[in-house]
Amino acid sequence: MELVKLKKLQNEFYRWFINMLKVALTGGIGSGKSEVSALFNKWGAYIFDADKIAKQILDKNKTAQKELILEFGSDVISAEGIIDKKKLSRVAFQNEFNQLKLNTIIHPYVFKEIDMCFEKILNKGDHEIFLIDAALIYESGADTHMDYVIVVTSHLKIRTERVMKRGDLNREEFLKRLDLQWPEKDKIEMADFVIYNNESKDRLKEEAKKIYNQLQ
């Protein structure tokens, strides 16, 4: 926590010139990251949804699409001639090597969008916190470009139940994706703030609000 205090002092000086913090919010599937993101948005932070932007790049960026097809072949193309995200996911999440190839192509485009959006929002001067909501903050190396990183975590049993209830992935798919992400303990050790989302929504809101207030 001493490091957090030091960063807070540094960022008080930083705000004299920049006036907006760049904060990353990350957490594994089913951790409750999106709920925390929604709360920060409600309280006044600008939210950059990196996962949403990555999907838009897959849909609209012709250069990125060509790179992906060259890397993964025609099996990831839909009948309409565009990237089929479900097919791409099946291929990319087969193993760590394929996921690395996907991230190596997509992440530079996402980083570029982050930089452009940050400058745009900074110039407007309406927000004190620019929150980047992304699953792979540490895996991508983006944490080194942030003022703070917040990690949302939950017990594996609880996360599994949430994911199964949503129906986005089956149990096997969920566990495979889990294996391809950094271990929770490593993220927790590196984080500036950690939210343990194992209890009620009211408790989650309370913990998130404490962190939001510290960033003000």
108: how many CB neighbours lie within 10 A of its CB?
A: 12
Mean pLDDT along residues 101-123: 94
pLDDT value of residue 121: 95
Rg (CA), the chain: 18
Give CA–CA dist 60/38, Å, rounded.
26
Is residue 25 pLDDT above 70, yes or no? yes
pLDDT recorded at residue 16: 47
pTM equals: 0.85
- Per-residue pLDDT, 78: 84
pLDDT in tens, 55-101: 999 989 999 999 999 999 888 888 777 888 889 988 888 888 988 99
Domain ranges in the chain are 2-215
Mean pLDDT of the chain: 88
Statement: residue 5 has pLDDT above 80: no
- Predicted local confidence at residue 17, as pLDDT: 54
Does 132 have pLDDT greater than 90?
A: yes
Compute the average pLDDT of residues 142-158: 94
Nearest to 10 by CA among 197, 176, 152, 192: 192
Gap between the Cα atoms of 68 and 102, Å rounded: 7
Burial class (CB in 10 A: 0-12, 13-18, 19+), 171: exposed
Structural contact between residues 59 and 82, judged by C-beta atoms closer than 8 angstroms: yes
Looking at 3-12, 14-23, 89-98, which range is the least confident one?
A: 3-12
Q: What is the mean pLDDT of residues 130-137?
A: 94
Strands (E), the chain: 21-27, 46-49, 129-133, 148-153, 193-196
Say yes or no to pLDDT of 123 above 70: yes
What's the pLDDT at 86?
Answer: 86
The pLDDT confidence band at residue 10, using thresholds 50, 70 and 90, is low
Q: Does domain 2-215 have CATH number 3.40.718.10?
A: no
Name the residue with tokens 């409750």: 32
